[in-house]
Amino acid sequence: MAEQKYPPGIQAYIERGQQMAATEAKQRTLMRRKRFDTIAVHGIYGLEATLAHQGSINEPAFLSSAQHFENSDHMEAALAYLMPSWAYSRIANPTLHYLEETLALLEGYGFPGEVSCCVTASGMSAIFLATNPFLVEEGQGPINCVVSSKCYGGSFMLFNERYAKERGIDVRWVKDPLDLGEWENLVDEQTRFLFGEMPSNPGLSVFDVCAVAQLAHQNGIPLIVDSTVATPALLRPLCLGADIVVHSVSKSMNTGGLTIAGAVIARHQILSLVGPDELKENFALYLKLLPGRDFGPALNPLSALFVLNDLHTLRSKMDLLSQNCLQVALFLDQHSEVTAVYYPGLPADSGHVVASRLMRLVDCESDSDTVSQRYGHLLSFRVRGGAAAARLFFDNLQMILRATDLGRIKSIATIPAISTHQQQGEQGRSLADIPVDLVRLNVGGEHPEDIIQDLDQALRGLRQS
């Protein structure tokens, strides 16, 4: 195919754009040689970038809705996506770009191929953008997707209400994500993607990412993994064979809790039965420039700056929070008022073997498996006495916050059946295995003995009622 000819003025901007892209690619290559903590601190915001922004050590917040152009040729080249630009903050923004590059480097840490990221206004908008492009009819009969039923309530509602009931898409639920045979039995020639959480919210269910990714690829489709709870500090699904990773960046990456954000991170050259070549070549960029532009789930630049600041210490925080959570899980596992604890770090947990193989603290100083294993900051447990006892325990808490949030540096508890998964209804909660006496606990950065003391007094209060 002959190369398209452009007027001299536009061609000059295309060439300038190629130089800009080459300069950034050089910086990206340099950072890919660095360790995880270094990437989290710097991203691609190097010395040249600081000097270009009057020496600002921190990434600048571009609090503008639109970009000024030098002339009409510059505008045309930019809006035709012929050169790097941001044009309008619904499409792109320099502050968002720094966050996207940092997340792509972190999630792609150790992955040999190219990785790109598209940030969004929330985790749910990220899941929608990551899944919707594949759900198109192509005249071959009803299409379907295969989804782990052990998932966040918002994800369940997207798949069950918006996709299944409103659009007639066949959503096939995997009841036991550890059972590879169940995944296999649900896949056919009309399956568009596989989707699972690792670990899941709130039940901390896990699945073998490597095996499920292989199944997806055998059928020419992508595996999408929600890795919100783990973060790339503990798990990088792309390295295990997954194609697309989604995050509610509002959670573990944003421990300060100052904003809501989401991200779609994808390797280049993904498999798909549908969609244009651009979708397969660079999925995240495709989302950013086309569906994301048209649906409009843009992240606020100031929110991106909050997240960037919290990302700097991601690894050390996930290390601390994971160790705190394991201590709390061990305490609850022995408590007389607790009938079950769900945490993959416990040897008796059904997902312990798989989680121990896949979840590791990145760049751990020791090569020992037992030293590097980390299982995250989230656990769930059942309170003896049913729903009434769970609510009384919940109301007895004196330090641990009562909220629907997670991933905070502050410990937070919720009862999923009456909060995050309330709208699923009894049938939906039964499918996801969320009983009325289940309490979800985000273990924070407080001293674990203080967290345990608050849990203990709240549980002991059940005996006095």
Q: What is the pLDDT of residue 368?
A: 63
What confidence tier does 367 reach under pLDDT thresholds 50, 70, 90?
low
Neighbour-count burial of 181, counting CB atoms closer than 10 A to its CB (0-12 exposed, 13-18 middle, 19+ buried):
exposed
Average pLDDT over residues 179-186: 98
Query: 91-311 adopts what CATH topology?
Result: Aspartate Aminotransferase; domain 2 (3.40.640)
- Angle 215-105-379 (CA atoms, 0-180°, nearest 5)? 65
Separation between Cα atoms, residue 88 and residue 159, nearest integer Å: 31
SS (H, E, C) 374-426: CCCCEEEEEECCHHHHHHHHHHHCCCCEECCCCCCCCCEEECHHHCCCHHHHH
Q: What is the pLDDT of residue 1?
A: 45
Q: Which residues contact 144 (CB under 8 A, 6 or more apart)?
A: 169, 170, 171, 172, 186, 188, 190, 191, 192
pLDDT of 270-300, one tens digit each? 999 999 999 999 999 999 999 999 999 999 9
Q: Where are the alpha helices (DSSP H) in 219-264?
A: none
Separation between Cα atoms, residue 224 and residue 246, nearest integer Å: 7
Residue keyed to tokens 């066949």: 170
Handedness of CA 256, 259, 262, 268 (dihedral sign): negative
Mean pLDDT of the chain: 96
Which residues, listed in sequence order, are joined to residue 172 by a DSSP beta bridge? Answer: 146
Q: Where are the domains of the chain?
A: 91-311, 314-460
What confidence tier does 202 reach under pLDDT thresholds 50, 70, 90?
very high
Q: Where are the alpha helices (DSSP H) in 69-227?
A: 72-79, 94-107, 123-131, 153-157, 166-167, 180-186, 209-218
pLDDT of 33-85, one tens digit each? 999 999 999 999 999 999 999 999 999 999 999 999 999 999 999 999 999 99
What global pTM score does this model have?
A: 0.96
If you ran DSSP here, which 8-state letter would residue 169 be given? -
Q: Where are the alpha helices (DSSP H) in 196-244?
A: 209-218
Q: Do domains 91-311 and 314-460 have the same CATH topology?
A: no
For residue 4, count other CB atoms closer than 10 A to its CB.
6
pLDDT of 311-363, one tens digit each? 999 999 999 999 999 999 999 999 999 999 999 999 999 999 999 999 999 99
- Report the SS3 class of residue 441: strand
* Structural tokens at position 18: 């190629």
Phi, psi (rounded to 5 degrees) for 333: -65, -25
| DSSP characters over 24-50 | HHHHHHHHHTS-HHHHHHHTT--HHHH
Over 80: is that where the pLDDT of 187 sits? yes
Phi, psi (rounded to 5 degrees) for 432: -85, 0
Separation between Cα atoms, residue 256 and residue 460, nearest integer Å: 31
For residue 403, count other CB atoms closer than 10 A to its CB.
14
- Angle 216-28-287 (CA atoms, 0-180°, nearest 5)? 45
Separation between Cα atoms, residue 375 and residue 371, nearest integer Å: 12
Q: Which residues contact 213 (CB under 8 A, 6 or more apart)?
A: 223, 237, 240, 241, 242, 243
Q: What is the pLDDT of residue 67?
A: 97
Over 80: is that where the pLDDT of 369 sits? no
Q: What is the pLDDT of residue 411?
A: 98
pLDDT of 100-153, one tens digit each? 999 999 999 999 999 999 999 999 999 999 999 999 987 678 999 999 999 999
Radius of gyration for the chain, computed over Cα atoms and rounded to the nearest angstrom? 23
Average pLDDT over residues 234-261: 97
* Structural tokens at position 134: 């594949």
Query: Cis bond leading into 232, ω under 30°?
Result: no
Q: What is the pLDDT of residue 290?
A: 97
Q: Tell me the CATH number of domain 314-460, given options 2.40.50.140, 3.90.1150.10, 1.20.140.10, 2.40.128.20.
A: 3.90.1150.10
CB 73 within 8 A of CB 13: yes
